[in-house]
């Protein structure tokens, strides 16, 4: 009886404590009102479009390490000052600079026809114009099986399949293998050059650029060129007809030594816990074929505008909100690694990090990688974002965006507001990545989602570390 009584009291107590937990307020009424107000303001604001228009028009293409990227850093600094950030600075780092230079590539057999191509990042120049027969490989796997020195005096062409469009961009990593490591096998086999099908989901005659992977600290000794999907289709059909393929190729792309780049850091200093940092951002550099509107002028605009709207609230959130405009992302996450190194001792104070680097189509999902209690907070934030058409996704999704990888690897918690990526790989790294591709209403929805969620996390006292 005594035991039963104790059990009953225990049960009552445990029900009571569950109720206390459930009743604990993770987001106050006032915070919810502020977040809702931020979303409404963002949906009516032109600030994001103004930012990405200015960046892509006044600065233009911004290859990592270039003079243009330096102009972009100064642009970012001035923008931060104008928008009312409390502190603004540039943190420099050094990096090797690869320049694209001029390219000409044409089919010479079975007949003369220009191809639309572009050098891949890290590729070597042609010593003199290459005129050579082409050996066709159906995909990267076929090339990986090639014997050493079996392609001497020839050009290898890696075909593959066009990327299938999807909301999440699934398939990119796999398709990207030919761009990343194809050169290592072509070079091992003694080929004079490598040509690959572009990694993209469009059927326009735009080549998709992108960085190759180094082999340890070694880069390609041969030219490596991506051609457009329709050009790759054309080569496949000619190959299937049994026609001998030959090309003429001249490329000037090359490494040009050490230069400086940098990250732009804009802070809204927290009112109660200024040492705790909620980091958001995008990358300031772009590939040089287009003006980097979608990749990643949009991410710069979304995160800077979101923080600028929060800056207009009567009171700063409790924690510091930091916008980082990362440098030299496309050429190997160089700004991200520099940031993680320069802030190594202080990463423990980074309570959360997230990057927008997947275009500017509508955000549809919020995922996170935080501790169980903070997961409840993110659940509550997702409910507040639901009028924007955003649903809650996984609570154990690592990532946060490319430039967040080095920080996340050191234990910084992450969330990600996932954009619909259906059209992203039509434009990705092509000359077609231009301002007209950004829909102002969709961009505003992105800013609304960032402003509300980042405000709520920065004004919270919930610890997010796993």
- Work out how close the CB of 441 gets to Zn ion at its nearest, in angstroms, rounded to a whole number: 22
* Stretch of 15-23, 183-191, 247-255, 352-360 contacting Zn ion, by CB under 5 A: 352-360
In the complex with Zn ion, the residue whose CB is nearer, 69 or 295, is 295
Paired strand residues for 95: 259
* Stretch of 37-45, 52-60, 349-357, 377-385 contacting Zn ion, by CB under 5 A: 349-357
- Work out how close the CB of 213 gets to Zn ion at its nearest, in angstroms, rounded to a whole number: 17
Paired strand residues for 283: 326
**Does position 295 bind Zn ion by CB under 5 A?**
yes
**Does position 357 bind Zn ion by CB under 5 A?**
yes
User: Which residues 75-104 are close enough to bind Zn ion by CB under 5 A?
Assistant: none
Task: Write the interaction track for Zn ion spanning residues 296-335; mark x where CB under 5 A is met and - where it is not.
Answer: x---------------------------------------
**Does position 433 bind Zn ion by CB under 5 A?**
no
Please, are residues 28 and 419 in contact by the beta-carbon 8 Å criterion?
Answer: no
In the complex with Zn ion, the residue whose CB is nearer, 63 or 222, is 63
Neighbours of 26 (CB within 10 A): 17
Q: Which helix or strand (DSSP H or E) is residue 445 part of?
A: helix 440-458
Cross-sheet strand order for the sheet of 414-419:
87-99, 254-268, 319-326, 273-283, 350-355, 414-419, 363-369, 391-392
CA gap 172, 421 in Å, rounded: 11
In the complex with Zn ion, the residue whose CB is nearer, 296 or 380, is 296
How many residues bind to Zn ion according to rule CB under 5 A? 3
- Work out how close the CB of 329 gets to Zn ion at its nearest, in angstroms, rounded to a whole number: 6
Residue 17 main-chain phi, psi, to 5 deg: -70, -35
- Work out how close the CB of 298 gets to Zn ion at its nearest, in angstroms, rounded to a whole number: 9
CA gap 13, 21 in Å, rounded: 12
In whole angstroms, how large is the CA radius of gyration of the chain?
Answer: 25
User: Which residues 108-167 are close enough to bind Zn ion by CB under 5 A?
Assistant: none
- Work out how close the CB of 355 gets to Zn ion at its nearest, in angstroms, rounded to a whole number: 9
Show the tokens assigned to 56: 């892509």
**DSSP letter for each residue of 243-296:** PPPEEEEEE--EEEEEEEEEEEEEEE--SSEEEEEEEEEEES---SSS--IIII
CA gap 453, 417 in Å, rounded: 9
- Work out how close the CB of 428 gets to Zn ion at its nearest, in angstroms, rounded to a whole number: 8
In the complex with Zn ion, the residue whose CB is nearer, 146 or 334, is 334
* Residue 224 C-alpha from the chain's centroid: 23
* Stretch of 316-324, 350-358, 386-394, 434-442 contacting Zn ion, by CB under 5 A: 350-358
- Work out how close the CB of 283 gets to Zn ion at its nearest, in angstroms, rounded to a whole number: 6
In the complex with Zn ion, the residue whose CB is nearer, 231 or 330, is 330
In the complex with Zn ion, the residue whose CB is nearer, 159 or 296, is 296
Task: Please give the residue ranges that form the binding site for Zn ion (CB under 5 A).
Answer: 295-296, 357
């Amino acid at each position: 009886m005594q035991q039963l009584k104790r059990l009953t009291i225990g049960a009552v107590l445990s029900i009571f404590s569950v109720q206390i937990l459930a009743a604990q307020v993770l987001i106050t009424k006032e915070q919810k009102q502020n977040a809702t107000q931020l979303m409404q303001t963002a949906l009516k604001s032109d600030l994001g479009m103004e930012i990405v228009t200015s960046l892509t028009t006044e600065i233009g293409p911004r290859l990592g390490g270039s003079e243009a990227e330096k102009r972009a850093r100064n642009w970012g600094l001035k923008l931060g000052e104008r928008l009312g950030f409390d502190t603004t600075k540039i943190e420099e780092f050094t990096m090797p600079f690869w320049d694209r230079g001029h390219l000409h590539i044409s089919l010479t057999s079975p007949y003369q026809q220009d191809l639309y191509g572009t050098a891949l990042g890290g590729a070597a120049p042609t010593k003199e114009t290459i005129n050579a027969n082409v050996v066709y490989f159906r995909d990267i796997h076929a090339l990986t099986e090639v014997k050493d020195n079996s392609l001497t005096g020839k050009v290898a062409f890696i075909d593959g399949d066009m990327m299938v469009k999807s909301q999440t961009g699934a398939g990119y990593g796999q398709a990207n293998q030919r761009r990343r490591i194809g050169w290592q096998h072509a070079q091992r086999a003694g080929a004079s050059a490598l040509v690959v099908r572009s990694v993209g989901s469009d059927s326009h005659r735009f080549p998709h650029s992108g960085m190759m992977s180094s082999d340890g600290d070694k880069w390609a000794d041969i030219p490596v060129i991506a051609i457009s999907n329709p050009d790759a289709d054309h080569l496949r059909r000619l190959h299937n007809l049994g026609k001998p393929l030959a090309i003429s190729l001249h490329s000037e792309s090359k490494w040009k030594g050490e230069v400086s780049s940098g990250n732009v850091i804009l802070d809204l200093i927290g009112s109660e816990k200024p040492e705790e940092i909620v980091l958001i951002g995008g990358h300031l550099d772009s590939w040089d074929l287009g003006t980097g509107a979608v990749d990643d002028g949009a991410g710069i605009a979304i995160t800077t505008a979101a923080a600028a709207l929060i800056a207009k609230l009567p009171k700063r959130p409790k924690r510091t909100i930091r916008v980082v405009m990362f440098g030299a992302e496309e050429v190997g996450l160089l700004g991200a690694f520099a940031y993680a190194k320069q802030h190594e001792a202080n990463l423990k104070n980074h309570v959360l990090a997230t990057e927008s680097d997947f275009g500017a189509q509508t955000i549809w999902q919020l995922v996170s990688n935080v501790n169980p209690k903070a997961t409840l907070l993110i659940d509550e934030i997702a409910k507040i974002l639901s009028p924007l058409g955003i649903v809650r996704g996984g609570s154990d999704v690592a990532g946060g965006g490319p430039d967040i990888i080095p920080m996340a690897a050191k234990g910084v918690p992450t969330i990600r507001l996932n954009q619909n990526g259906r059209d992203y790989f039509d434009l990705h790294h092509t000359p077609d990545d231009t301002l007209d591709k950004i829909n102002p209403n969709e961009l505003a929805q992105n800013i609304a989602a960032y402003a509300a969620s980042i405000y709520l996390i920065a004004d919270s006292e919930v610890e997010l570390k796993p």
